Structure formats: C-alpha cells, structure tokens
Chains A and B, each alone.
Chain A
Amino acid sequence: MAAWRFAVMAALALTLSACVSLPGPIGGSAGFKNDPALRGLWYGKTDKDGDAAYYHVLPNADNTTTIVGVGASNDDKGGWGVLTVTTAVLGDNHYINAREVFEDGKPKSDPENPDTWYSGLYRLDGDVLTIYTFDEKKVAAEVRAKHIAGTITQGRFGDSVAITADAAHIDKWLASSGAVGLFTPLFKMYRVKEPVLPAAR
C-alpha cells in the first residue's frame, strides 16, 4: 500500500490507534446530532509524510454523517475510504465517533468487534478543523485516580486503557471543561472554499 493511501485511512479513522477503548460511542446518553458546521469539503495533509487527501463530509438524514476520503495524489494509484460518523456535544466539547465502512472500495467490517467506534474530540476554528485523540497516559491517570472506571494493561509500547464505565458516566466525565486536557492533537483539516460556479445547464 502506498504511503499516502495509508495516510488517507489513518487520518480518516482517527488513527485507529485505539490505545484507549470505550464500550460505545461518545455521546450515547446525550444523543447524536449532526454538526452542520462540518458539512462540505475539507483538505488535509499529514505532518509526517505530507500526504494529502480530500474529505467530503456528507450529512445524512438520520443524524449520521458519511465522510468520503480520497487521496489527492496525481501520480500514484488511487486510494479512498468511507467512514460513518456521529457527533455529539457534551458541555462545551464537541466529539466525533467514526467507523470505517469502506476501505479501497471494499466494504469493511470487523467481525470480532462489529460495533466498534473510534472516538475523538474536534475543534473548529474558522476554516480549520482539528481532530484530537485520547492521550492514553492522561486517561490512564484518570482511571488510576478513579475518576472513571476502567482497566489498564501495560504493553511493550505503553499503556492500553479500556474504559468500562457506562455511557452516562462517560458522557458526564467528558462534558467537563477539563476533559479537553485528556486529548492530544492528531490531525488538521482545512475547509475547501467553494466559489459559486456558473451552472452547467
């Protein structure tokens, strides 16, 4: 797989690093509602590889959103992926949950974890959208401090944290202003301005 193709999926799927796992999507107790501010076309480039991709954010009628990501390279084999996304607002914090449904043109499912959602925090500053992912060390500290129920497994590459609290407790935990500090920036996307073009017909 070409490097930039990986970048498309990595960025789309909130890294899928999943060093912090949740029993369900964030906002399950508060309810999901599409954020109209996210609608449209975004452009992102990874810091590490400089690989770029377009992201079409297409809200659905059922308060889910489809994100279609397409690699923006002209000189390599094409790659694309699709996520189903939900968003929720807890306190002043905006959260996003994503599930990959297509990868390189093929429907994707995880038979062992069919309901797995990857969750993060997002902030919109003008036309810049920043996605944040959990900082496993800070979340592990929260678990150790018994601020939220969970388990910590030490691995070769650091702690793996599984939050075990129910949705109501998780949403309450993440609604506080201090919850923002549990996240670390992952990826920035920039809104593609869409000039009004002459109609085709």
Chain B
Amino acid sequence: MKLAHAALAALIAVILAGCFPPSTSHPVGVTAGLKADPALIGTWKGAGDDGKAVYAHFLKNDDGSLTVLLAATGDKAEDWNLVTGTTATLGGHHFFNARLVSSNGKPETGEPAGTMPLLYTIDAKGLTMRLMDEKATKALIKAGKIKGDPGQGENGDAMITADPKPLDAFMQSPAALAAFSSKPLFVLRKAD
C-alpha cells in the first residue's frame, strides 16, 4: 500500500504501523448531541508530501454519522480509504470521532474499540484536523486528570475510558485542548 506520500492518509499510516492515536471508549460530545456538521459535507482537497492532490469526500449518513472517503491521486497513488465518524461541538470546539473502516475495500482489523477524537477548525485556511498527542494524553491519564488506560510503555495505545459526561467536560478543558497535537494531521481546502 502506498500511503506514506499522502498527508490525508497519515492517520491510516500511523494505524497500519501498529501505533494507534489516542482513542476514547465513548465518542466525544454525546452529552451535547452527535450530529453531522453540515460545514464538512462535500469534497475537500489537500496535498501530500509530494505536493500531489489528495481528496476527502465527507458524506452524510441517515443516522447522523459521516462517511469520509479518502482517495489519493497521482502517478503512484492507488489507495482509497473509508472512515466513519460523528461530530459534536463542545464549548465552541469542534470534534470529529473517527473510526477507520477499510483500506482499498478490505476491512481494517486490530483497531482499538472506540473512536479516535480529532479537533477540527474551519477557517480561511480551510479544514484543519488534529489528533491527540500520544505522550500528552498518557500524561493526563497518569496524572488522574481523566480516567483511562495509558497503555503499556511509550508505544502502548492510550485510551480514555471516562463516561460521556466527564469525558465531555474534560475535552473542552484547557488541559485536554492542549493535548491535541500542534502539528495538524492535515489541512484541506474545499474543492466544490
């Protein structure tokens, strides 16, 4: 699979490497209501490491969830990936709870239960999405700031297991927001 060149596929590449980003056993935003953010719907375009275009199609489902179809284009780009998720807004902050479904039509296996929270913004730069930083999340769990499993050692996958109410309260706190990586997973611009 040729995923490394595609910034959009970075999330998947991380997962395929066996190191999952921090996840939550409950999606973020249950207490506020999980809805498909209409601002996301449509086709977004970004660039990979090599400057070639990658596309993300955000599609709304009947149940209020989103399907995201990622496709990389270019001379050597032959991958498509499927992600499902929900969105919620807490304290003015936008969250996307993502779960990888398949790569090139083949179901993903080995993914932790739950969903991976991403913090996103839509502004003049486009759509920016950030994953939680592994070390920062582990530190918060170990410090008792939020209930969870920091995972084994440095490479173990961290999972926040707090119930929806304390989870949602925590995720809009300065400490949690600071735990999202300063480096965006990707930045996309609307293509349609």
Question: Interface residues, chain A, CB within 8 Å of chain B?
Answer: 39-41, 54, 56, 58-61, 66, 68, 70-72, 74-80, 82, 101-102, 105, 107, 194-201
Residues of A contacting B74 in the complex (Cβ-Cβ under 8 angstroms): 40, 194
B105 lies within 8 A of A82 (CB): yes
Is B162 on the interface with A (CB-CB < 8 A)?
no
Residues of B contacting A59 in the complex (Cβ-Cβ under 8 angstroms): 78
Residues of A contacting B77 in the complex (Cβ-Cβ under 8 angstroms): 58
Q: How far is the CA of A80 from the CA of B82 in the complex (A)?
A: 11
Is B61 on the interface with A (CB-CB < 8 A)?
yes
Q: Which of B51-59, B90-98, B114-122, B163-171 contacts the other chain?
A: B51-59
B55 lies within 8 A of A66 (CB): no
Q: Which of B27-35, B38-46, B150-158, B172-180 contacts the other chain?
A: B38-46
Residues of B contacting A105 in the complex (Cβ-Cβ under 8 angstroms): 67, 82
Residues of A contacting B58 in the complex (Cβ-Cβ under 8 angstroms): 78
Nearest residue, chain B, Cβ from A41? B73
Selected from B53, B78, B79, the residue in CB contact (under 8 A) with A194 is B53
Residues of B contacting A60 in the complex (Cβ-Cβ under 8 angstroms): 78
B73 lies within 8 A of A77 (CB): no
A77 lies within 8 A of B52 (CB): no
Shortest A54–chain B CB gap in Å is: 6
**Interface range on chain B: under 10, 10 to 19, 20 to 34, or 35 or more?**
35 or more
Nearest residue, chain A, Cβ from B186? A200
Residues of A contacting B75 in the complex (Cβ-Cβ under 8 angstroms): 39
Residues of A contacting B48 in the complex (Cβ-Cβ under 8 angstroms): 199-200
7 closest A-B pairs by beta carbon, nearest first, are A78-B59, A197-B47, A200-B7, A56-B71, A70-B57, A194-B53, A74-B42
Q: How far is the CA of A89 from the CA of B112 in the complex (A)?
A: 46
Not counting A196-B52, A199-B7, a sample of 20 additional A-B residue pairs whose C-beta atoms are within 8 angstroms of each other reads A56-B55, A58-B71, A66-B105, A68-B80, A70-B43, A74-B41, A77-B60, A79-B59, A194-B52, A194-B53, A194-B74, A196-B51, A197-B51, A197-B52, A198-B47, A199-B51, A200-B47, A200-B186, A200-B187, A201-B7
17 residue pairs from A and B, CB less than 8 Å apart: A40-B74, A41-B73, A56-B55, A58-B71, A58-B79, A66-B105, A70-B59, A75-B41, A77-B61, A78-B60, A195-B53, A196-B51, A197-B46, A199-B47, A199-B48, A200-B47, A200-B187
